[in-house]
Amino acid sequence: MISRHLARIIAVQSLYEWDFRGQKEDIAKIIEHNLAQFVDNPEKDKSGIEFAVDLIKNTISKIKVIDPIIQKCAPEWPLNQITTVDRNILRLGIYELMFSDYKQTPPKVAINEAIELAKSFGGENSGRFVNGVLGTVYNELGTPMKEDGKKSQKSKV
């Protein structure tokens, strides 16, 4: 069974590959290839697969909102100078912080997961960098929540 952590690994791997190839590759093919690497039983792992695919597609759909947030929260690092893996971990983390359901992924879980991904797949300082950027995003957002458990889109970021 695919855990949510493994689904995030698949998401980061897919986002990395898509970004590394200039965002021109068909994301569906990348997702299919990466899922084949990790999923033994697609029927049994259906919810994990759906979670991974939703993370990937939703992160990409919000990239024009997410990238300026990264630039604002890490002004010393132009987006193209952030390593590809760190950039995509940040994209995924910001997507989960700003656009996912708090009940499904509480903010601290989103931040901790991103930090763990950065420590596992990034460079020596990636964990601290991701923590700093996501911490800034979270502090700027505060805890805006709607009654339905989703984050408000009204934020300072």
Tell me whether residue 110 is exposed, middle or buried, using C-beta atoms within 10 angstroms of its C-beta: 0 to 12, 13 to 18, 19 or more.
buried
Q: Flag whether 10 is in a domain.
A: yes
Taking each helix axis from N to C end, the angle separating 63-73 and 84-99, rounded to the nearest 10 degrees, works out to 110
Going by pLDDT thresholds of 50, 70 and 90, the confidence category of residue 140 is: confident
Q: Flag whether 155 is in a domain.
A: no
Q: Could you read off the pLDDT of 31-58 as tens digits, one per residue?
A: 999 999 988 887 788 889 999 999 999 9
Task: Return d(Cα 21, Cα 132) in angstroms, integer.
Answer: 27
Q: Flag whether 24 is in a domain.
A: yes
Question: pTM for this structure?
Answer: 0.88
Q: Flag whether 120 is in a domain.
A: yes
Q: Flag whether 76 is in a domain.
A: yes
Determine the structural domain holding residue 119 and report its residue range. Answer: 4-141
Give me the CATH number covering residue 10.
1.10.940.10
Q: Flag whether 54 is in a domain.
A: yes
pLDDT computed for residue 116 by the predictor: 98
Number of domains the chain is built from: 1
C-alpha count within 13 angstroms, C-beta hemisphere, residue 120: 13
Least-confidence region, from 21-30, 35-44, 66-75, 108-117: 35-44
Going by pLDDT thresholds of 50, 70 and 90, the confidence category of residue 61 is: very high
pLDDT computed for residue 152 by the predictor: 43
Count other C-beta atoms under 10 Å from residue 147's C-beta: 5
Residues 6+ away with beta carbon under 8 Å from 83 = 122, 123, 126
